[in-house]
Amino acid sequence: MNKDIQVSISQKDDVSILNIKGDVTAITGESIEQAYQKVSTGGAKKILLYFDQDGYINSGGIAILIGIASESRKNGQTVRMTGLSGHFQKIFNMVGLTKYTEIFQTEELALKDF
Amino acid sequence: MMADNRVELHIPSIMGFEKVAMECSASVAKKMGFTEDRIEDLKTAVAEACLNAIEHGNKLDTSTKVGVTLTVGETKLQVAVKDEGKGVGEISPPSIENKMEGKDKPRGWGLFLIKNLINEVTFEPSPEGGNITKMVIYLEK
Of B120, B136, B114, the closest CA to residue B44 belongs to B114
Residues A69-91: what's their mean pLDDT?
97
Q: What is the CATH number of domain A5-111?
A: 3.30.750.24
Low-confidence ranges of chain B (pLDDT < 70): 1-3, 87-90, 141
What was the pLDDT predicted at B4? 74
- CATH topology assigned to domain B2-138: Heat Shock Protein 90 (3.30.565)
- For an interface test with A, the pick among B41, B55, B96 (most A C-beta atoms closer than 10 Å) comes out as B96
Q: What is the ipTM of this complex?
A: 0.91
User: What digits encode the pLDDT tens for the residues A4-48?
Assistant: 899 999 999 999 999 999 999 999 999 999 999 999 999 999 999
pTM of the model as a whole: 0.93
Residues of A whose CB is below 8 A from B18: 58
Mean pLDDT value of segment A63-81 = 97
- B141: closest CA of chain A, how far (Å): 21
CB contact under 8 A, A66 and B14: no
CA-nearest residue to A87 within chain B is: B40
Residue in chain A closest to B93 (alpha carbons) equals A95
**Counting beta carbons within 10 angstroms of the beta carbon of residue A32, is it exposed (0 to 12), middle (13 to 18) or buried (19 or more)?**
buried
If you measure CA to CA, which chain A residue comes closest to B99? A66
Domain ranges of chain B: 2-138
pLDDT at A1: 41
Alpha-carbon distance A90 to B107, whole Å? 18
**Average pLDDT value for chain A:** 95
Q: How many DSSP H helices and E strands does chain A contain?
A: 4, 5
